[in-house]
A and B are shown apart, each in its own frame.
Chain A
């Protein structure tokens, strides 16, 4: 999905930094800091902190965007588990097309890369 983001992005917005935990906003994308904060706290599974972050996101971006953010976050909790649980390889051609990006982001250090790459 990260690959698709960059490939299809015809604008100047660059999502590459999102694999870096220290990345707190995306240059050129208004409110990106709120979305990143929401995703980070969502993954902490701390209900009190998440309530605080929801309030900030709703006030800054609106309730509809908050609802969408929860939909997307929960969807990607699902997709990773399908990939991890089934041992699928990356799709044909996609590894070769993003070797530089994988190297730049250090994605081969992910545990799941061992499964995914061994199936190439």
Chain B
């Protein structure tokens, strides 16, 4: 696999971006809990394709995306139609996703644990790609998939008690195989990926380089966590991007 290297980028990209992006690329190429490395890399290709999909564009422009029928323009034939729909929809129009849409996806044969692994694969890959776009750096070459079968690992302590569409892990996990995945309190947006614990591990790892560590979210707002933007300046960017995304959460 060609390592991600930003040392020749047009800006001085601090080293922990390449370190965390490489760790995620390694995980992307490897078999997950429910999908092979080849399927996960195919999902990553589909993320990039979704920006050029006519159906997604027409849905984005429509008053309701549910009024527009058609077929997605896909990057390959490696993924089922329902997985392509999940990838394209989450990337291009996530704000208008409804419970009915989610139930429709489930009725086409996806299991919640599979959906969560797809969701994690989408959002982490998208974050790495968006980082490059934000700096005008060419997108990183996707990794070569690694051989092997999915682990079929399912955490035992996930439940629907959290009120989400998918089972969540508890806010606090002090023991067991998932005790390492976050420090202290896990907010719902972190617990949301808990059905695929490795997706939480990638979430937290990338969080540390792109933003701050989970246990410093409530802390000193005058410091510069990475030597660049101050925490308050970070929140300006975070809040504005979230506002553009109609992020109520």
Contact with B along A26-51 (1 / 0, CB 8 A): 10010110011011101101010011
A10 cross-chain contacts in B, Cβ below 8 A: 221
Are A69 and B134 touching (Cβ within 8 A)? yes
A74 to B217: give the CA distance in the assembly, Å.
17
Interface residues of A in 1-15 (CB under 8 A from B): 1-2, 4-5, 8-11, 13, 15
A10 to B232: give the CA distance in the assembly, Å.
11
Interface residues of B in 104-141 (CB under 8 A from A): 116, 119, 122-124, 126-131, 133-136
Judged by DSSP, the binding face of A is helix
User: For chains A and B in complex, what number of residue pairs have CB atoms within 8 angstroms?
Assistant: 258
Are B244 and A110 touching (Cβ within 8 A)? no
Q: In the complex, how many angstroms separate the beta carbon of A68 from the nearest chain B beta carbon? A: 4
A78 cross-chain contacts in B, Cβ below 8 A: 123-124, 126-127, 130, 203, 206
The stretch among B37-45, B77-85, B187-195 that forms the contact with chain A is: B187-195
Q: How many residues of B contact A (CB 8 A)?
A: 75
Known: A63-B11, A88-B249, A117-B248. A70 touches B131 (CB 8 A): yes
Tell whether A82 is near chain B: CB-to-CB under 8 Å: yes
Select one of A5, A51, A108, A110 contacting B235, CB under 8 A.
A5
Are B246 and A81 touching (Cβ within 8 A)? no
A65 cross-chain contacts in B, Cβ below 8 A: 228-229, 233
Are A80 and B134 touching (Cβ within 8 A)? no
Are B229 and A72 touching (Cβ within 8 A)? yes
Are B17 and A82 touching (Cβ within 8 A)? no
Are A15 and B235 touching (Cβ within 8 A)? yes
Most chain A beta-carbon contacts within 10 A, residue among B13, B136, B234: B234
Instruction: Determine the residue in chain B with the shortest Cβ distance to A42.
Output: B134
Known: A71-B211, A81-B90, A111-B96. A39 touches B13 (CB 8 A): no
Are A36 and B119 touching (Cβ within 8 A)? no
Known: A4-B217, A4-B218, A67-B11. A82 touches B238 (CB 8 A): no
Q: How many residues of A contact B (CB 8 A)?
A: 72
Are A38 and B237 touching (Cβ within 8 A)? yes
A95 to B197: give the CA distance in the assembly, Å.
27
Q: In the complex, how many angstroms separate the beta carbon of A30 from the nearest chain B beta carbon? A: 9
Select one of B165, B218, B245 contacting A77, CB under 8 A.
B245
Known: A80-B247, A91-B187, A112-B246. A74 touches B164 (CB 8 A): no
Q: In the complex, how many angstroms separate the beta carbon of A59 from the nearest chain B beta carbon? A: 12
Select one of A8, A26, A62, A74 contacting B236, CB under 8 A.
A26
Contact with B along A83-110 (1 / 0, CB 8 A): 1111111110000000000000001101
Q: In the complex, how many angstroms separate the beta carbon of A55 from the nearest chain B beta carbon? A: 10
Tell whether B207 is near chain A: CB-to-CB under 8 Å: yes
Tell whether A58 is near chain B: CB-to-CB under 8 Å: yes
B219 cross-chain contacts in A, Cβ below 8 A: 8
B126 cross-chain contacts in A, Cβ below 8 A: 74, 77-78, 81
Are A13 and B241 touching (Cβ within 8 A)? no
A59 to B111: give the CA distance in the assembly, Å.
49
Q: List 14 A-B contacts (CB under 8 A).
A: A2-B242, A18-B236, A63-B12, A70-B131, A73-B238, A77-B130, A78-B124, A79-B242, A80-B245, A84-B97, A87-B97, A111-B246, A116-B248, A120-B163
